């Protein structure tokens, strides 16, 4: 099989991965390409919520070295679990869930940094929707110092699906929002918690806010009041650590 790190390319290799129900993150195809098996690839992408993008031939040439035949696919580097599987595993251990949920976090380095924070802080896992989340590739692994390969990552189709599963399992949802007057220090993080961190451009959506038990902010007494999502996640995660493991 033709490979370039986490990329595969060539019509037959990509088709074979689709037929084998392989975990694919994204597929790029040459714009205007005619290929008899293209409908099967498109169907697999549509059925599994996999982004499929038409791009110029030259872009594919830059992505891989070799005869790509007009199609390149990015393979998943992690073994995703369902959110319900992750929750069941946590409760089987007799522990209170501590989950970090990401909405519209599209920067791979931020995702890598958050994975590193999650692993260091003892979070049970990261939860992401399929669309609107950075693809996990080699750069993500590097920025996480390998942590992203060693923490559970649950993935569902949409943020709505994630919220529904958390609700059905009785896990309170907390949203981070700089405009909230409630401090993260006012929340009891010893109880089951799913913390939603939004992307830097828009923050958490109204849909998430409506599902939250509480919306909190990080107190910032300085002259600047903006943290990137990776740093903000770290601040909140270690307040959870402080309350759970070092209560005053």
Give the residue among 130, 153, 104 at the shortest CA–CA distance from 46. Answer: 130
CA–CA separation, 120 and 122 (whole Å): 6
Residues 6+ apart with CB under 8 A from 94: none
Rounded Cα distance between 234 and 230, Å, is 6
For the stretch 57-89, pLDDT in tens is 999 999 998 899 999 999 888 889 999 999 999
pLDDT digits (tens, 9 = 90+) for 219-228: 998 877 778 9
> What is the C-alpha to C-alpha distance for residues 187 and 61, in angstroms, rounded to an integer?
51
**Prediction pTM value:** 0.85
pLDDT band at 132 (very low <50, low <70, confident <90, very high): confident
Sheet hosting strand 125-129, strand order edge to edge? 153-156, 125-129, 98-103, 193-198, 173-176, 214-216
Tokens of 223: 């002259």
List, for residues 151-202, the tens digit of each pLDDT value: 999 999 999 999 999 999 999 999 999 999 999 999 999 999 999 999 988 8
Mean model confidence pLDDT for the chain: 92
Q: What is the pLDDT of residues 3-48, one digit of tens each?
A: 445 889 999 999 998 998 888 889 999 998 888 888 889 899 998 8
Contact, 192 vs 172, CB < 8 A?
yes
* DSSP-assigned letters across all residues of 185-236: GGS-TTS-EEEEEEBTTTBS-HHHHHH-SEEEB----SS-----HHHHHHHH
Q: Which pLDDT score is estimated for 5?
A: 54
pLDDT for 36:
85
Poorest-pLDDT segment among 42-51, 102-111, 143-152? 42-51
Place of tokens 């074979």: 16
pLDDT tens-digit series, residues 89-100? 999 999 999 999
Secondary structure, 3-state, 45-80: HHHCCCCEEEECHHHHHHHCCCCCCCEEEEECCCCC
Asked whether the predicted pLDDT for residue 126 surpasses 80, the reply is yes
Predicted local distance difference test score (pLDDT) of residue 244: 96
**If pLDDT is split at 50, 70 and 90, which confidence band does 2 have?**
very low
Query: By C-alpha distance, which of 123, 89, 113, 104 is closest to 207?
Result: 104
Domains of the chain: 3-75 (3.30.1330.30), 83-245 (3.40.1280.10)
């Amino acid at each position: 099989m033709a490979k370039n790190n986490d990329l595969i390319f060539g019509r037959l290799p990509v088709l074979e991965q689709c037929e084998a129900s392989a975990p694919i993150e994204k597929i790029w195809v040459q714009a205007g390409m005619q290929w008899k098996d293209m409908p099967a690839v498109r169907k697999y992408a549509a059925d599994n919520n996999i982004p499929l993008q038409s791009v110029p031939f030259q872009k594919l040439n830059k992505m891989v070295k070799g005869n790509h035949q007009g199609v390149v696919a990015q393979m998943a580097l992690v073994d995703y679990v369902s959110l319900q599987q992750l929750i069941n595993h946590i409760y089987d251990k007799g522990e209170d869930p501590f989950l970090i949920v990401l909405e519209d976090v599209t920067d791979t380095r931020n995702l890598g940094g958050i994975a590193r924070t999650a692993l260091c802080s003892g979070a049970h896992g990261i939860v992401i929707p399929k669309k609107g989340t950075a693809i996990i590739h080699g750069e993500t692994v590097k920025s996480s110092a390998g942590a992203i390969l060693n923490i559970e990552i649950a993935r569902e189709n949409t943020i709505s699906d994630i919220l529904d599963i958390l609700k059905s399992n009785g896990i309170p949802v907390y949203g981070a929002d700089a405009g909230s007057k409630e401090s993260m220090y006012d929340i009891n993080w010893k109880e089951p918690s799913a913390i939603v961190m939004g992307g830097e451009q828009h923050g958490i959506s109204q849909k998430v806010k409506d599902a939250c038990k509480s919306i909190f902010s990080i107190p910032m007494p300085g002259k600047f009041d903006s943290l990137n999502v990776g740093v903000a996640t770290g601040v909140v995660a270690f307040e959870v650590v402080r309350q759970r493991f070092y209560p005053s």
